[in-house]
Amino acid sequence: MSVHKETKRITTHTLQEMKDRGEKIAMLTAYDFSMATIVDDAGMDVILVGDSASNVMAGHETTLPITLDQMIYHASSVVRAAKRALVVVDLPFGSYQGNSKEALNSAIRIMKESGAHAVKLEGGAEVKESIERIVTAGIPVMGHLGLTPQSIYKFGTYTVRAKEEAEAQKLKDDVLVLQEAGCFSIVLEKIPAQLAATVSQSLRIPTIGIGAGSACDGQVLVVNDMIGLTKGFRPRFLRQYLDLYTEINGAIQSYIKDVKAVDFPNEKEQY
Ligand code: KIV
């Protein structure tokens, strides 16, 4: 039986209720209609159209090159597939850092042109005004702290963040600023599990962790990584549920062999 007939659309309020009753939130990325259909049908709570599309879909080294138009294209495809999940879309690098008006315009474009339900942006106190302006316009905002890949050239590496006391304290301050500014949830990426636990307890709103331990109110992974489509990417925080790269590669090699041997198509596969 389809999950859609039994279950109403997940909203930001549903996520708050889940935190309040101690139910964990499951979030996964998707960037296209086919994958989003599978993810939604499986019963995912939140689908993130992440700017990780820049890496896994377009083959860039960082998330910086992806554009607002490209994010809207991916988001529209996901929205057409998602019947139950809340669809959150990343504001890409360069579409909100200028000022709060630019941030609002970018968020409005995503909502209007893709039909998504919320936006996500990276940063702490420095993006407070932008968050407030977007929320005031009626658009739900998810924050993102810890390792923020759009600032990779500032950090220099993708290693764990906030291990030092000063950075940990800044993160503790920033989560409260984001909550106060109106964020409905905050992604915590690659920070010590103990810090994520403290922060999650200090907040009214749910945290979603990636490489941030089990005490977060929910978890997120990049779908291509968790099903093993991304070749050779095995960070410690990743649980890889399938090895699709090997499976698909094997299937394609079999197809090539069958074509060369004139084994495909056979009599039943032609008219
Ligand atoms: O872009 C993305 O996929 C993300 C997740 C890693 C949280 O921001």
Average pLDDT, integer, range 242-266? 98
CA of 254 to the centre of ligand 1 (A): 34
- The percent of residues above 90 in pLDDT, for the chain, comes to 97
Distance CA 110, CA 113 (A): 5
Categorize the per-residue pLDDT at 164 as very low, low, confident or very high, splitting at 50, 70 and 90: very high
**Quick check: 4 pLDDT over 70?**
no
Residue 26: the pLDDT is 99
Distance CA 20, CA 221 (A): 23
CA of 222 to the centre of ligand 1 (A): 7
Model confidence over 50-85: pLDDT tens digits?
999 999 999 999 999 999 999 999 999 999 999 999
Distance CA 186, CA 233 (A): 25
Model confidence over 191-215: pLDDT tens digits?
999 999 999 999 999 999 999 999 9
Distance CA 108, CA 103 (A): 9
Of all atoms in ligand 1, which is nearest to the CA of residue 27?
7
CA of 239 to the centre of ligand 1 (A): 15
Average pLDDT, integer, range 116-129? 98
Residue 5: the pLDDT is 54
With contact defined as beta carbons under 8 Å apart, do 116 and 87 qualify? yes
Is the beta carbon of 52 within 6 A of some atom in ligand 1?
Answer: yes
Model confidence over 182-191: pLDDT tens digits?
999 999 999 9
**CA-nearest residue, atom 5 of ligand 1:** 50
Tell me the β-bridge partners of 25.
218
**Quick check: 6 pLDDT over 70?**
no
**3-state class (DSSP) for residue 142:** strand
Amino acid at 160: V
**Quick check: 217 pLDDT over 90?**
yes
Instruction: Please give the mean pLDDT across all residues of the chain.
Output: 97
Residue 7: the pLDDT is 65
Distance CA 49, CA 32 (A): 9
Tell me the β-bridge partners of 120.
90, 142
Categorize the per-residue pLDDT at 94 as very low, low, confident or very high, splitting at 50, 70 and 90: very high
Residue 241: the pLDDT is 98
- Tell me which H or E stretch contains 86: strand 86-90
Model confidence over 26-39: pLDDT tens digits?
999 999 999 999 99
Of all atoms in ligand 1, which is nearest to the CA of residue 208?
7
Residue 183 phi, psi dihedral angles, 5° rounding? -60, 145
Distance CA 198, CA 139 (A): 28
**CA-nearest residue, atom 4 of ligand 1:** 50
**Quick check: 157 pLDDT over 90?**
yes
The 8-class DSSP code of residue 266 comes to -
**Residues annotated catalytic, as ranges:** 189
**CA-nearest residue, atom 1 of ligand 1:** 50
